[in-house]
Amino acid sequence: MARVMRYYVSKLFQPQNIVPKNSEVKCNDITSKSQKLMMDMGIIRAANNGFFYMLPLGERALRKLVDVVNEEMHRIDAQKLVLPSLISSTLWKMSGRFDDAAVADELFTLKDRHNKKFVLSPTHEEAVTDLLGSISQLSYRQLPLRLYQITNKFRDEMKPRFGLMRAKEFLMKDLYTFDTSLENAKETYEAVTASYKTIFNRIGVKYVRVAGLTGTMGGSLSHEFHFPSDVGEDNIFVCKICGHGNNAEVFPHTAQSTGKGDVNKCGSCGNSSLSHVQGIEVGHTFLLGTRYTKPLKAQFMQRDGKPDFLQMGCYGIGMTRILAAVVECLSTTSEIRWPLILAPFKVCVIPPKAGSKENEVASGLISSLFHLLDKDPVLADDIIVDDRLELTIGRRLRDTAQVGYPLAVVLGRQTMDQEPLLEVHNFSSNQQVMLSVSDAVQYIVQHTRLEGEPVEQSSRTVHATHG
């Protein structure tokens, strides 16, 4: 059996609350519920304005999101790589983006000691296209090619806001696809779209997919994935009849300013009953065609031996932004709620206070509890013990709810009963149940299983215990 890690709240690096004295970030820079909660609970901490320390609990949640995305990318045969963060500005000049004011204003640039200019990349279309262009005799047999990375990106935001949602440094998943024809590239576009739907369904927060502008990225087709939220910075219109959605940006400016025309009508069915929501953009897909492969000369050999330009697509997912966005969408004003799949820990065990009568019987119960839980190493890695025994159970239960662990197991008064009972709190359903140790384990297993995940080992053990 794999070795089981044990985690303790007393050992956790979780500096809570209060903006550090020397920080550039003032209290009134905390502009969203998620930013406040995540800073208060020691998930993230402000570094400079627009930059954050990702603390251990935040890193755990982020790693879980990375796992989901890796799994789904693997399912569509995308291969993971890492591109350099510093890209020669020459490439950005070749694509024309270096001299596009709308892009250039937000670019971090720097020079090396030889006076060579670099871009600290916000996105990697130029870099990956140059990589493929540099391969002589790239053959149609090697296509389609799907390459992605999950790396930190940089953007010199005028106004960093809402914590991780609009930061100057952020983690992004960026996928680049290369096909032999526009038709094939469109099929790839559909495949990636389906993959994105699976990813967002697995995260489990309500989302909408709408048509977007191709903007400074270029290309011919673009869609955005949004979490509806009041702090969302995009205006989304969704048709109540057919479900077709648009980012308001796609409506012609004239129509917007006059209040007439397309803005009031569904672009798909022509109906005029549109609902408006604010959206947090968490994913974006672009069909780029030869927008980058032509200027950067990225070609492949066709079946007939003649060269042609690669047909490209690019696909982003804002990883750190999703972390903030799920907290924004699901939490109350005082308590974080994570989707089960991203919760830093799924279960918090709360033993009795030191010196209490219950404390005398607790250690035996805790051993049998962990004896059962540890039979499932996956679940065991998701359990933290709030061993701050100097604090009351009530206080620790409050902390558990605030930081957003979905389940708490409390060893309270009824552990003294003839048949000792544990209190299991389920914060997502506001449920509280009194259960024997083996029933508690069964409840935990059932309520921490993700959709599609096999209920293994530990539950069989529980059944055996019952039998």
Which residue lies nearer to Zn ion by CB, 272 or 432? 272
HEC assignment per residue over 352-421: CCCCCCHHHHHHHHHHHHHHHHCCCHHHHCCEEECCCCCCCHHHHHHHHHHHCCCEEEECCHHHHCCCCC
Cβ of residue 237: shortest distance to Zn ion, in angstroms? Answer: 10
Cβ proximity to Zn ion, 195 vs 246, nearer residue:
246
Smallest distance from Zn ion to CB 210, Å = 12
Q: Which is nearer to Zn ion, 104 or 248 (CB)?
A: 248
Query: Which residue's structure tokens are 């000792």?
Result: 420
Least Å from the CB of residue 242 to Zn ion: 3
> What is the chain's percent helix, strand, coil content, to nearest 5?
35, 25, 40
Smaller CB separation from Zn ion, 81 or 242: 242
Instruction: Tell me the closest approach of the beta carbon of residue 269 to Zn ion, in angstroms.
Output: 3
Please identify, using beta-carbon distances, which residue of 139 and 272 lies nearer to Zn ion. Answer: 272
Q: Are strands 383-385 and 347-350 parallel, antiparallel or unpaired?
A: parallel
437: three-class secondary structure by DSSP: helix
Instruction: Give the nearest distance from C-beta 245 to Zn ion in angstroms.
Output: 9
In the shown chain, the binding pattern of residues 233 to 272 toward Zn ion, with x for contact by CB under 5 A and - for none, equals ------x-xx-x---------------------x-xx-x-
Residue 103 or 263: the one with the smaller Cβ distance to Zn ion is 263
CB nearer Zn ion, residue 266 or residue 314: 266
Minimum separation from the CB atom of position 207 to Zn ion (A): 18
- In degrees rounded to 5, what are phi and psi of residue 188? -60, -45
Decide: helix, strand or coil at residue 170: strand
If the CB atoms of residues 244 and 388 are measured against Zn ion, the closer one turns out to be 244
Binding window for Zn ion (CB under 5 A); candidates: 46-54, 232-240, 319-327, 336-344 = 232-240
- Which C-beta is closer to Zn ion: that of 194 or that of 269? 269
Judged by CB under 5 A, the number of residues near Zn ion is 8
* Residue 247 beta carbon to Zn ion: minimum distance, rounded to whole angstroms: 15
Q: Which residues of 188-204 are buried (b: 16+ CB within 10 A; e: fewer)?
A: bbebbbebbeebbebbe
Interactions with Zn ion, residue window 403-442 (CB under 5 A): none
The separation between the first and the last C-alpha atoms of the chain, rounded to the nearest angstrom, is: 24
CB of 240 to Zn ion, least distance (A): 8
Q: How far is CA 453 from CA 312, 321, 375, 445, in A?
A: 34, 26, 16, 11
Shortest Å, Cβ 285 to Zn ion: 21
Distances (CA, A) of 312 to 78, 288, 467: 14, 5, 59
Does the footprint of Zn ion cover residue 135 (CB under 5 A)?
no
Q: For the window 269-308, what string marks contact with Zn ion as x by the rule CB under 5 A?
A: x-x-------------------------------------
* CA–CA separation, 32 and 278 (whole Å): 14
For residues 10 and 275, which CB has a smaller minimum distance to Zn ion in the complex?
A: 275
Contact 377, 398 (CB under 8 A): no
Other Cβ atoms closer than 10 A to 388: 17
Stretch binding Zn ion (CB under 5 A), from 9-17, 37-45, 195-203, 231-239: 231-239
Reply yes or no: is the peptide bond before residue 339 cis, omega within 30 of 0: no
d(CA 345, CA 215): 40
- Whole-angstrom Cα distance, residue 433 to residue 429? 11
Could you give the angle at the alpha carbon of 7 between the alpha carbons of 362 and 5, nearest 5°?
A: 105
Q: Closest distance between Zn ion and the C-beta of residue 243, in Å?
A: 7
Interface contacts to Zn ion, rule CB under 5 A: 239, 241-242, 244, 266, 268-269, 271
